Amino acid sequence: MVTVPGGPYDITSGPDGALWFTLVEAGQVGRATPDGRVGVFDVGGGGPTVITPGPDGALWFTRYRDHHIGRITTAGEVSAVAVPDTGPYGITAGPDGALWFTETATHAVGRITPDGEASSFPLGSGFPSAIAAGADGALWCTLNADNALARLTPDGEITRFPLPTEAAAPVGIAADAGGLWFTEIAAGQIGRATYDGEITETPLPDRAARPHAVIATEDGCRFTEWAGSRVGALTDGGYRATALPESAEPHGLTLGPDGAVWVALEAGALARIG
């Protein structure tokens, strides 16, 4: 466990062999080595939220509160592009060399090139939350308010896939070669979608666990259980979980450069799960 004040929210593995994470309350982005050395960088406030490696060797992140897309190099050089009144949340590198992000306030998916040119694709409704680049060459996002997944091609073609469970409120999403994993925070379930849009759902033992973020792994997926203070795993062998300290508030997670799962705990720490 690495203590990090400031509200760790999301975490990812950077191209420099370190872990990069957002500090949503402190208005900072942090860097940690697997042996626990930590440095932080001021990024202009604005609630840095979700972070992802970009195609240019830098890290890109959403600033949800002040409507910017931020960029930080592995040397700590910070810049940002304004995306006014959009409420950017999820972000991922797309198949076209651009960054794609969800616009929660405008119910759209945004696109920004590494040189800062931004555009937007309206979805009409849904409160798009997390977003992932699929192995099918499209972008997939969860529609939290519309209880659906959306598939968006780089040229703007949109397809919606409703979820079987009503009011499941999907949030996190991750892609692998066979499809998508996603969390249903209100239903206490983990969903699986093929690239053709066939959806199955697995109820968790604790339906009040509020699963939040998810990553794909070689044997299935790992996900955070925000209310249950656990990291869950779903594999061919079924469900298992690792307990975290009470009220840890686990949010984002990633596979670290050391092969372990690392989790951002908003209560003030990074946790390593072997």
Catalytic residue ranges: 251
- Three-class SS of residue 78? strand
Q: Please give the Cα distance from 51 to 70 (Å, whole number).
A: 9
Q: Please give the Cα distance from 207 to 183 (Å, whole number).
A: 12
**CA dihedral sign of residues 3, 171, 78, 71:** positive
Half-sphere exposure (CA, 13 Å, Cβ side) for 20? 27
List Cβ neighbours of 40 (8 Å cut-off, separation of 6 or more).
6, 23, 26, 28, 29, 30, 31
